[in-house]
C-alpha cells in the first residue's frame, strides 16, 4: 500500500513550487518531533498544517459521519443554534495575517465548507497570504462553482465519494454520487478550457462495512474524473470501552468532559473481512488508474483484520499533531484534535493564535501526551490525524 508522502515525488516533477510547500509542512512536522517534542516537550515553534472546520452545517447526512451520521450530534436544532456562532470573514482575515510568517498548509472542511457564505473570499485571502489551501467537500455544489474555482486557481480540492453510485448513495444520500461526479467532470472541463492545472483534484473514500466490496468499481470509474490522487481512508472507529477509558483519562489528567469520541462508535467497522479487503485494495493499487492511489493508514496485509476487529490495538504511536497542527473551529475555538474537539485551547476572538498555540493549556496537553505509554491517549487508537502522521508500530 502506498502512503500519503508517495504523492510528493510525482508532484515535484509537475509542480516543484507546490511540492516544496508540502515538503515544508512535512519538515515542520518532523522538526517539531525531533526538536520541540523531544527536547522541550511543552512549547513548539513549528506549524505545518491547520484545519479549519468552517461550519457545523451540511446538506448531507452520511451514515458514518462523526458529526452528522447515525451517532453525530451536529443535526437539527443543535446544528442550527451552533451555526449562529460561525466566524465572520474578518475574524479569519485577522488570523490569516498572524499565519503569514509560518505559512502552514490549510485544510478547509466542515460540515460542508461550501455552506460557509464567504468561502471564496476566504480562500482568496489565504492564497494571497502565501498559504497552501486544500478544500474537502461533498462535491454537491462543485459543478455550479467550477469555473470560478479554476479561474481563482485554488490549489487542491478533495471530493468525498464512498463507492460506486448505489453504494455511495446508500451511505451519503440519494443523488449525491451523480452531483459529486458532475462536479468533478465540470472542474476537469474547466481546467481544459482555461488551460490550468489548478486545482489539483482528489477523491477521499472512507472505508466501512457498507462499501468495502465496492471499492474496485469506484476506483475504476474514477479513471475518467481527471484526478491527481485517490485516498482510501480506512475510517475512524471507536467502541464503548475505548470511550470510557478516554473519558476517565481526560477527566483525571486534563479536567475535560468528552462528548465527541462516542460519535465514532458506529459499528460500521464490524464484519469487515480483513483478508478480503486486502485483496480488494491490492487489486485497486495494481490498477493503472493514471493517478496515485493511497491508503491511510498503510498497513501490513495481516493487520487489516486487527484495524477493524480489535479497535483497542494501536497501529500508530507517538501522536505528533499538537506540536505542528491545530484545528480552528467554526466558533473560533482552537483544538489540536480536529475530530474530537473537546479540549479547548482558547478562542481566536479573544487571544492571538500563537499565544493559544503555546499557552498554558496547550503545554499541559502536550506534556500529558508525551508522558503517555506509546505517546497516545486511550482515545487516539483510530484517530485520522494519528493515522496520517503517527509512527508506524513495529509489525503494522
Ligand atoms: C466530515 S467531512 C467534511 C467535509 C465534507 N462535508 C465532505 O464530506 O467531504 C470530512 C471527511 O471525513 C470523512 N468521514 C466522515 N465520517 C468519517 C469516519 N467515521 N471516519 C473517517 N472519515 C470520515 C468524510 O467522508 C470526508 O471525507
Ligand atoms: S457530507 Fe461531510 S460533513 Fe456532511 S454528513 Fe457527509 S461526511 Fe459529514
Ligand atoms: S492522536 Fe489523539 S492527541 Fe493526537 S490528534 Fe488524534 S485524538 Fe488528538
Please check the confidence at residue 2 and state whether its pLDDT lies above 70.
no
Q: What pTM was estimated for this model as a whole?
A: 0.96
Q: Which residue has the cell 475574524?
A: 91
Span 115-130, mean pLDDT? 98
Identify whether the C-beta of residue 216 lies closer than 8 Å to the C-beta of residue 283: yes
Tens digit of each residue's pLDDT (9 = 90 or more) over 61-87: 999 999 999 999 999 999 999 999 999
The pairing of beta strand 105-109 with beta strand 156-160: unpaired
Supply 10's cell numbers.
510525482
260 vs 267: CA distance, rounded Å: 16
> Is the CB of 367 inside a 6 Å radius of any atom of ligand 2?
no
Ligand nearest to the CA of 370: 3
Cell numbers for 73: 450530534
Residues 329 and 211: their CA atoms lie apart, in Å, by 30
Q: Which of 161, 158, 224, 144 is nearest to 188 (CA)?
A: 224
Task: State in Å: Cα 371 to ligand 1 middle.
Answer: 30
Of all residues in the chain, the percent with pLDDT exceeding 90 is 96
Would you say 384 and 236 are in contact if contact means Cβ atoms under 8 Å apart? Answer: yes
Q: Which atom of ligand 3 is nearest to the CA of 383?
A: 6
Query: Model confidence at 11, in pLDDT bands (50, 70, 90)?
Result: confident
How confident is the model over 30-52, as a mean pLDDT?
A: 94
Ligand nearest to the CA of 136: 1
pLDDT digits (tens, 9 = 90+) for 334-384: 999 999 999 999 999 999 999 999 999 999 999 999 999 899 999 999 999
> How far apart, in whole angstroms, are the C-alpha atoms of residue 70 and residue 105?
31
- pLDDT 10s digits, 268-317: 999 999 999 999 999 999 999 999 999 999 999 999 999 999 999 999 99
Q: pLDDT for 174-198, tens place per residue?
A: 999 999 999 999 999 999 999 999 9
For strands 293-296 and 316-317, give the pairing.
unpaired
How far is residue 10 CA from its own chain's centroid?
A: 21
Locate 169 and state its grid cell.
Answer: 448513495
Q: Is the CB of 336 under 6 A from ligand 3?
A: yes
Mapped onto helix, strand or coil, the DSSP state of residue 48 is coil
Whether 293 lines ligand 3, by a CB cut-off of 6 Å, is: no
Q: How far apart are CA 207 and CA 196, in angstroms?
A: 32
From the CA of 111, give the closest atom in ligand 2: 3
pLDDT-derived band of residue 9, with 50, 70 and 90 as boundaries?
A: confident
**Per the structure block, which three cell numbers stand in for 333?**
475555538
Q: Under a CB-based contact definition with an 8 Å cutoff, are residues 157 and 142 in contact? A: yes
In the predicted structure, residue 3 carries a pLDDT above the cut 70:
no
Contact 123, 129 (CB under 8 A): no
CA-wise closest residue to 164 among 211, 202, 203: 211
The closest of 218, 114, 205 to 162, measured between CA atoms, is 205
Q: How far is the CA of 342 from the centre of ligand 3 (A)?
A: 11
What does the alpha-carbon distance between residue 202 and residue 107 come to, in Å, rounded to a whole number?
13
Q: How far is the CA of 337 from the centre of ligand 3 (A)?
A: 5
Ligand 3 pocket check: which of 317, 343, 386 to mutate, most ligand atoms within 8 Å of Cβ? 386
> E strands of 207-281, at which residues?
229-233
CA nearest to 339, candidates 357, 349, 327, 325: 327
Q: For the chain, what is the total number of helices (H) and then of strands (E)?
A: 16, 12
Map grid coordinates 466558533 to a residue.
Answer: 331
* Ligand 2 in reach of 111 Cβ (< 6 A): yes
| pLDDT greater than 90 at residue 12 | no
Contact 234, 297 (CB under 8 A): yes
Kindly report the protein residue whose alpha carbon is nearest to atom 8 of ligand 2. 65
Amino acid at each position: 500500500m502506498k502512503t500519503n508522502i508517495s504523492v510528493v515525488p510525482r508532484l515535484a516533477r509537475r509542480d516543484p513550487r507546490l511540492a516544496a510547500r508540502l515538503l515544508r509542512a512535512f519538515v515542520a512536522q518532523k522538526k517539531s518531533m525531533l526538536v520541540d517534542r523531544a527536547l522541550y516537550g511543552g512549547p513548539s515553534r513549528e506549524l505545518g498544517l491547520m484545519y479549519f472546520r468552517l461550519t457545523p452545517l451540511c446538506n448531507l447526512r452520511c451514515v458514518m459521519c462523526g458529526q452528522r451520521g447515525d451517532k453525530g450530534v451536529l443535526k437539527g436544532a443543535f446544528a442550527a443554534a451552533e451555526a449562529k456562532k460561525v466566524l465572520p470573514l474578518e475574524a479569519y482575515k485577522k488570523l490569516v495575517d498572524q499565519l503569514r510568517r509560518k505559512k502552514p498548509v490549510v485544510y478547509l472542511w466542515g460540515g460542508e465548507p461550501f455552506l460557509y457564505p464567504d468561502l471564496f473570499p476566504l480562500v482568496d485571502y489565504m492564497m494571497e497570504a502565501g498559504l497552501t489551501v486544500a478544500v474537502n467537500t461533498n462535491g454537491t455544489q462543485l459543478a455550479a462553482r467550477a469555473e470560478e474555482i479554476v479561474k481563482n486557481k485554488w490549489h487542491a480540492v478533495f471530493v468525498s465519494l464512498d463507492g460506486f453510485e448505489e453504494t455511495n448513495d446508500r451511505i451519503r444520500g440519494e443523488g449525491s454520487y451523480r452531483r459529486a461526479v458532475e462536479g468533478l467532470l465540470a472542474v476537469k472541463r474547466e481546467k481544459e478550457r482555461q488551460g490550468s492545472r489548478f486545482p489539483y483534484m482528489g477523491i477521499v473514500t472512507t472505508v466501512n462495512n457498507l462499501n468495502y466490496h465496492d471499492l474496485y468499481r469506484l476506483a475504476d470509474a474514477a479513471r475518467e474524473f481527471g484526478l491527481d490522487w485517490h485516498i482510501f481512508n480506512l475510517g475512524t472507529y471507536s467502541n464503548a470501552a475505548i470511550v470510557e477509558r478516554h473519558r476517565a483519562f481526560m477527566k483525571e489528567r486534563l479536567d475535560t468532559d468528552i462528548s465527541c469520541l462516542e460519535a465514532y462508535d458506529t459499528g460500521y467497522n464490524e464484519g469487515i473481512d480483513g483478508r478480503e479487503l486486502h485483496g480488494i485494495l491490492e487489486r485497486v493499487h495494481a490498477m493503472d488508474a493514471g493517478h496515485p492511489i493511497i491508503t491511510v493508514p498503510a498497513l501490513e496485509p495481516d493487520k487489516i483484520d486487527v484495524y477493524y476487529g480489535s479497535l483497542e490495538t494501536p497501529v500508530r504511536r507517538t501522536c505528533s499533531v499538537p506540536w505542528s497542527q491545530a484545528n480552528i473551529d467554526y466558533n473560533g475555538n482552537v483544538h489540536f484534535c480536529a475530530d474530537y474537539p473537546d479540549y479547548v485551547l482558547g478562542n481566536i476572538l479573544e487571544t492571538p493564535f500563537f499565544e493559544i498555540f503555546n499557552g498554558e493549556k496547550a503545554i499541559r496537553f502536550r506534556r500529558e501526551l508525551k508522558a503517555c505509554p506509546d505517546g497516545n491517549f486511550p482515545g487516539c487508537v483510530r484517530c485520522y490525524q494519528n493515522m496520517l502522521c503517527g509512527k508506524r508500530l513495529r509489525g503494522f
